[in-house]
Structure 1
Amino acid sequence: MQRSLTAPSRHTSEAIQFRIILAATYPFFLAAALAQRVLPGRAPTRRGLPVMRRSVFGEAKAMAVSAIPFAFMG
């Protein structure tokens, strides 16, 4: 059975595209994370206990990483 040579290059290409989109969208998600921190609202709690929050940068990266895969669907 022969392996296709296009699979690794496709994976590499998608990884590069993911990083480019992450770099392009990260500033928007960083602004959203900052707005969430600055605007008054409920503090996150779990069963009445305060929840440890990520840094603003970590939160922005988490939001970007969770949203970007939708660009690759289809």
Structure 2
Amino acid sequence: MRVALQRSMPAPSRLHSEAIQFRIILAATYPFFLIAALVQRLTPTGSPRRRSLLQERRSVFGEAKAMAVSAIPFAFMG
């Protein structure tokens, strides 16, 4: 007997609850990533190439948000 697996679209309420969970986790982890971004800015830079890249980067707040947004999806895996 063969059973066909169907992929259904997630319910809008599920998508909404995941979006709320994402925002809560973002708000909870943002201060830690902000501290990490500040520490990265305050540590001395090594190579001249890295120094040139530092001139083109975003604000400390933008960097902290980017780090948080890139790390949070791992909480939803599984």
Work out whether the TM-score is over 0.5.
Answer: yes
Q: Secondary structure at the match of 1:41?
A: coil
**Residues 29-73 of structure 1: per-residue CA shift (max 9 Å, x gap):** 000000000011236837xx8230110000000000000000000
Q: Secondary structure at the match of 2:14?
A: helix
Q: Does 1:28 align with 2:28?
A: no
Q: Does 1:18 align with 2:22?
A: yes
Higher helix share: 2
Task: Map residues 1-74 of structure 1 onto 2, 5 A cutoff.
Answer: 7-42=11-46, 45=49, 50-51=52-53, 52-74=56-78
Higher strand share: 1
RMSD value, Cα: 2.1
Instruction: Assess, with a 3 A threshold, how the Cα gap between structure 1 residues 43 and 11 changes in structure 2: closer, same or farther.
Output: farther
Q: Which structure: larger Rg? A: 2
Runs of 4+ in 1 over 4 A off after TM superposition: none
CA distance in 2 between counterparts of 1:10 and 1:59 reads 29
CA distance in 1 between counterparts of 2:66 and 2:35 reads 13
Any unmatched runs of 5+ in structure 2? 1-7
* Count of residues in correspondence between the two structures: 68
- Return the TM-score normalized by structure 2: 0.78
